[in-house]
Chain A
Amino acid sequence: MSTIRVDAKVVMLGKESVGKTSLVERYVHHRFLVGPYQNTIGAAFVAKPIQLGEKVVTLGIWDTAGSERYEAMSRIYYRGARAAIVCYDLTDSSSFQRARFWVKELQNCEEVIEQVLYVLYHILKWETLKVGFFLSSVNNGPRLHTILFVALQQCKIYLCGTKNDLITADRSLRQIDYHDAQDFAEEIGAQYFETSSKTGNNVDELFHKVAEDYNNAAFQFMSEESGVDLGQKKDSYFYSCCHNN
């Protein structure tokens, strides 16, 4: 079959016109299109192979539309994503608010995943390996499969401040302090990048990091017995469960 095999699904999220499409455009086609702003309709998909040492990792990048109209749709895209690049415009504080919203959405999504994992680990008393085995056996299973698959792969968040070139040209344009963004990233356990699609500054680095993290995680999952560290969260599951009852 000629369809390109995708290793890791990456989803671009963020307010409209922060430059998600430009970021993808710069990374995939090494160019920056000047002209009237055109917003993305629905979502666009591009597959991009990256060379990591001897290995090739193919990122399947979902460039979603920032418009509120497609908000519900975007959930389809980040479900099952290994990485979410949450973008905001360094010169627009409202876009940072929107980025916070997306982070929250992603975390909500993870809550669902956590619940499923809770069932597997604590009610069914499955072990990590068994979970892995189960996943590989229900190859084309129904929705649960997708959710479980996602559950074990966890979506990593990358926070990305765009249009860095504008700041370089005029510092007063910056509306989000570097350290505030950095703090927020740490708080949510995300990597933080400031990029410019116009100059290409930091763009390759961002996607390279995404690919690398995937590669390392995949390697971990294959080699280490424990896989995803869930022990830490056990108590919290139990806690919330008890209180719900």
Chain B
Amino acid sequence: MDGEAQNESVACEKATLAPVDRLRSNRAESPTPGLVEGTEPGAVQKSAFFAHAQSFEDLTAEAEEKAEQEGVVEDSGQTEDELQVLVGERTITEQHAQDVSPQSRSKEEDMSSEAWRSHRKHVFVLSEAGKPIYTRYGSEEALSSTMGVMMALVSFVESDKNTIRSIHADGCKVIFLAKSPLVLVGVSQTYQSDKELLRELQYIYYQIVSLLTLTQLNHIFQNKQNYDLRRLLAGSEYLTDNLLHRLDRDPGLLLSAVTCLPLSNSVRDVVSSSLQAAKAKNLVFSILLAGDRLVTLVRKKDQFLHHIDLHLVMNLVGSSSSFREGEGWTPICLPKFNTAGFFHAHISYLESASDLCLILVSTDREDFFNMSDCKQRFLERLTKRTAYQALKEALKCPSYSVEQVGIPELRHFLYKSKSSGLYTSPEFPELYQSDEEQERLMGLYQDLHSHLHHPVRPLRFFYRCTNKENLLAWVTNGFQLYLCFSPLGTKAMAVSAVNKLLKWIRKEEDRLFILSPLTY
């Protein structure tokens, strides 16, 4: 398939009308090579702004391992007792659930009820002492004994110098993630793989770390094992709720990528350079978002923003209307950058009714007025060069429909350029407008993703025909591609659609991607 696509595409390249600018001149002719990272459509010109797998991710991984080692092995005698207790646990939990007064939290739900059980994905966070910290559904109080059981299971298996991973029943699985000093448990009725679910729990863990820093978290539990962390996290539950919602719905979190506001190359360049010019001593990242889409990102030289950190920032901004009025100033830990300390983010909308949100990340907590000043400088420059109007114009169509691609059988797709960490995808088509259908389609993509990225049996290519749709997934060194077709399409058609689509993306790449990211 690869070879074939390549031949065909070379012939067609001449027909491209897009102006050949200085950047494009040295790009590969073929739209489908993608076999070499950095030449696929949407690949970055200079260095990407996202951390690559090789950059500091390894450093934090090391730190995490260390943290993991520190908090292991508990006295086995004790856990055995716990376990004896929890064999008869069920009756206790049920009683407990009834004891809870009805006037507590609004997300109160009887945990012995069918409604509570039937949620597709539960997430629980608890401390190593088994104290509840977060539950997606129901109240932590009512679930305290269930969480106690979870912790007992974790430490029981640990006492054998082993680690619990998951429990499987038909159509339901429980995933455990011990991230000292926290334990996260997911209960899912979806078909997601263990690896995917684990990745989601990891996100929740990072969400909590981003609010408190790991250092503070460790410090708290070192001093008081029994600490009720909900005190410190009060009011942040909705951030976690929203993040979980995003994990179900946002392809970016699935692909470890973000998507951009479609914008002409020249306008984006002006926006980027204006942002680049508005620098300050302690400024590390300047991020301009249009809703959940990236307009541009400028970073300090040699400093990279990990996509997880960016997703956490986007979740913070997207979850709260409190930044709409005035300028927000908040400490935020970017856990993939450094779990130990806080950055300080100046968050503000360019105009209160606008979707354009500027996030300026500084290392200095006293930097509010400097950041505020940077924002003013950026705005002035932007307005002077009339790019602002063009940017606001682009906001009116922040997405595109799949029809614009011109492949009739194609319903929807996701394309991620590996080197830039950016992806592009059209709006959900008519057929997938309802929440259930959108989540179902995302489920299909998640499924394709987990097949291609199986921990020990990864695949190059995956094609699946069902009664409702035909799906195709293809991964190369340069890109990942997921397509959804009508169930009536043939395989020959799917193959030709892939070629057409890659050509289209190549043609549109300077609008859909950020080809030349800047640094201060």
A residues with CB within 8 A of B: 1-3, 16-17, 21, 24-25, 28-29, 33, 38-46, 61, 63, 65-70, 73, 76
Contacts and interface: CB of A to CB of B under 8 A. Distances in A.
Contacts of B365: 73, 76
A217 to B, nearest CB: 22
A44 B234 contact: no
B428 interface: no
B327 interface: yes
A44 B232 contact: no
B233 A69 contact: yes
Contacts, number: 87
B366 A44 contact: no
B44 interface: no
B231 A45 contact: no
A202 B398 CA distance: 43
A46 B368 CA distance: 12
Interface in B330-347: 330-332, 345
B366 A76 contact: yes
Interface residues of B, number: 32
Given A16-B234, A44-B325, 15 more contacts: A1-B373, A2-B380, A24-B325, A33-B321, A41-B322, A41-B323, A41-B328, A41-B330, A45-B327, A45-B328, A68-B231, A73-B330, A73-B331, A73-B365, A76-B365
B235 interface: yes
Contacts of B368: 45
8 contacts: A21-B322, A21-B325, A42-B331, A43-B330, A44-B327, A46-B326, A67-B236, A68-B234
Contacts of A25: 325
B235 A39 contact: yes
A66 B235 contact: yes
A45 B235 contact: no
A38 B234 contact: no
B203 interface: no
A85 to B, nearest CB: 15
A38 B380 contact: no
Contacts of A41: 316, 320, 322-323, 328, 330
Contacts of A67: 232, 234-236
B133 interface: no
A76 to B, nearest CB: 6
B328 A69 contact: no
A218 to B, nearest CB: 20
A21 B316 CA distance: 18
Contacts of B211: 69
Contact of B329 (A29, A42, A69): A42
Nearest to B326: A46
B35 to A, nearest CB: 44
B331 to A, nearest CB: 6
A24 B327 CA distance: 13
Given A42-B328, A44-B328, A44-B329, A69 B236 contact: yes
Interface in B72-127: none
A3 B373 contact: yes
B15 to A, nearest CB: 48
By Cβ-Cβ distance, the 6 closest A-B pairs, closest first, are: A42-B330, A46-B326, A39-B235, A44-B326, A67-B235, A2-B376
A38 B326 contact: no
Q: Residue among A40, A43, A44, A65 with the most chain B CB within 10 A? A: A44
Contacts of B369: 3
A22 B211 CA distance: 24
Interface of B: 211-212, 231-236, 238, 316, 320-323, 325-332, 345, 365-366, 368-369, 372-373, 376-377, 380
Contacts of A29: 325
B235 A43 contact: no
B373 A38 contact: no
Contacts of B326: 24, 28, 44-46, 61, 63
Contact of A3 (B238, B328, B332, B376): B376
Contacts of B231: 68
Contacts of B233: 69
A43 B212 contact: no
Contacts of B323: 41, 44
A28 to B, nearest CB: 7
A146 to B, nearest CB: 9
A25 B326 CA distance: 10
A28 B235 contact: no
Given A2-B376, A3-B373, A45-B329, A69 B234 contact: yes
A52 B138 CA distance: 52
A1 B369 CA distance: 12
Contacts of B238: 38
Contacts of A66: 235
A40 B234 CA distance: 11
A65 B328 CA distance: 11
A29 B211 CA distance: 29
A44 B328 CA distance: 4
A80 B142 CA distance: 44
Given A2-B380, A39-B235, A44-B328, A69 B212 contact: yes
B346 to A, nearest CB: 9
Contacts of B232: 67-69
Contacts of B332: 42
Nearest to B370: A3
A65 B235 contact: yes
Contact of B322 (A17, A44, A69, A70): A44
Nearest to A63: B326
A103 B365 CA distance: 24
A17 B369 CA distance: 27
A38 B320 contact: yes
A73 B212 CA distance: 12
B321 A46 contact: no
B372 A45 contact: yes
A46 B324 CA distance: 11
Contacts of A76: 365-366
A18 to B, nearest CB: 12
Nearest to B332: A42
A123 to B, nearest CB: 28
Contacts of B316: 41
A102 B231 CA distance: 17
B325 A3 contact: no
A3 B346 CA distance: 14
Contacts of A38: 238, 320-322
B134 to A, nearest CB: 14
Contacts of B372: 3, 45
B127 to A, nearest CB: 16
A33 B368 CA distance: 26
Q: Residue among B232, B238, B328 with the most chain A CB within 10 A? A: B328
A3 B278 CA distance: 14
